[in-house]
Amino acid sequence: MNRRYRKTIIAGNWKMNNTLTQTKAFAEEIKPIMPRGKWCNVVLCVPATNIQAAVRLFKDCHIAIGAETCHYEEKGAYTGEITAAMIKDAGAKYVIIGHSERRQYYNETDFTVNKKVHAAIEAGLIPIVCVGESLEQRELGVTMELIAYQVKCALAGVAPEKVRHIVIAYEPLWAIGTGKTATAEQAGEVCQAIRTVIRKQYGAHVARSVTIQYGGSMNAKNAAELLAQPDVDGGLIGGASLKPEDFVQIIHAANQE
Ligand code: PGA
């Protein structure tokens, strides 16, 4: 983390978990144990049906709300989809874009990720853009090339002053939901490489302001070590964000000196 230049952001990704009733119960549980935000910003990305209620429920404890995806068009015949403007209107501040599960199961590509990034910014949302390599790609030794390609595609055509506020989440596919975390060195190395890509494209001023998270089995035990890496500015947390106590432990780790 480097709090001098950029925000530390701990974001939960609930995926397809928690009904409205369960969301209320989670809010009751986390409120009394939530650390009063010193440095780190806290976000929960929740299923679309919970956004509006979550905005209200988590307001007191300073947890901002995000969506888990959005469509790139402003409106139209896309049954089942929701627009970035709808998400913004429901009170959310963030939206996850290009999560590997969306890329794997819903044909999300680097091209649609780019269109969604533009749509999110246009609507006034902060995109949390996910990039990451598969185990095969890591073993082939193409991780850095692939990540650079994904980052460049996602940000293509975005103005530098907008890039400054985008969040990038490095999520190696082999670490998501597997309990197998990247080592702090691996996470730090790729997050640093992401910042270098941004520096080359947009300059040092922009690159040092971008929050780059690590995601993939981050938990209460390994968070501090991962966050100690200078280019790891937070986490995108799946499983451990479903348990208030574990999530709070990660927030504590991000608030350490
Ligand atoms: P995980 O999920 O923490 O359960 O590995 C992370 C993510 O998919 O964002």
Residue 237 Cα: closest atom of ligand 1: 3
Q: Which atom of ligand 1 is nearest to the CA of 101?
A: 8
- Spatial separation of the C-alpha atoms in residues 55 and 59, rounded to whole Å: 6
Q: What is the pLDDT of residue 133?
A: 97
Average pLDDT of span 193-201: 98
Which whole number is the average pLDDT over 207-218?
Answer: 97
The pLDDT of residue 178 is: 87
Domains and CATH numbers, the chain: 9-254 (3.20.20.70)
Distance 239 CA to ligand 1 centre (A): 6
Q: DSSP assignment, residue 64?
A: E
Q: Residue 177 — pLDDT band, cuts 50, 70, 90?
A: confident
CA distance 112 to 72: 7
Give residues (CB < 6 A) around ligand 1: 13, 171, 176-177, 215-218, 236-240
Residue 37 pLDDT level (bands cut at 50, 70, 90): low
The closest-lying atom of ligand 1 relative to the alpha carbon of residue 219 is 3
pLDDT of residue 181: 87
- Relative to the CA of 239, which ligand 1 atom is closest? 4
What confidence tens digit (pLDDT) does each residue in 226-246 have?
A: 999 999 999 999 999 999 999
Among protein residues, the one whose CA lies closest to atom 2 of ligand 1 = 238
Separation of 76 CA from ligand 1 center, angstroms? 31
Which of 18, 102, 237 to mutate for ligand 1's pocket (most ligand atoms within 8 Å of CB)? 237
Report the pLDDT averaged over residues 123-148.
97
In the three-class reduction of DSSP (H, G, I as helix; E, B as strand; rest coil), residue 33 is classed as helix
Contacts of 216 (CB under 8 A, 6+ apart): 132, 171, 172, 174, 175, 176, 178, 180, 181, 182
Return the pLDDT at 36.
78
Q: Whose CA is nearest to atom 6 of ligand 1?
A: 238
Name the residue with higher pLDDT: 46 or 177: 46
To test the pocket of ligand 1, the residue of 176, 214, 243 to mutate (highest count of ligand atoms within 8 Å of its CB) is 176
Query: Is residue 203 pLDDT above 70, yes or no?
Result: yes
The CA-based angle 8-9-14, given to 5 degrees, is 160
When pLDDT is averaged across residues 12-32 and rounded to a whole number, the result is 98
Task: Measure the CA–CA gap between 256 and 59, rounded to whole angstroms.
Answer: 23
Residue 220 has pLDDT above 90, yes or no: yes
Residues catalogued as catalytic: 99, 171
Name every residue whose Cβ is closer than 8 Å to that of residue 232 and which is 6 or more positions away in sequence.
1, 184, 187, 188, 191, 212, 213, 214, 226
Mean pLDDT throughout 15-31? Answer: 98
**Pairwise CA distance, residues 73 & 149, whole Å:** 24
Residue 87's pLDDT band (cuts 50, 70, 90): very high
d(CA 87, CA 83): 7
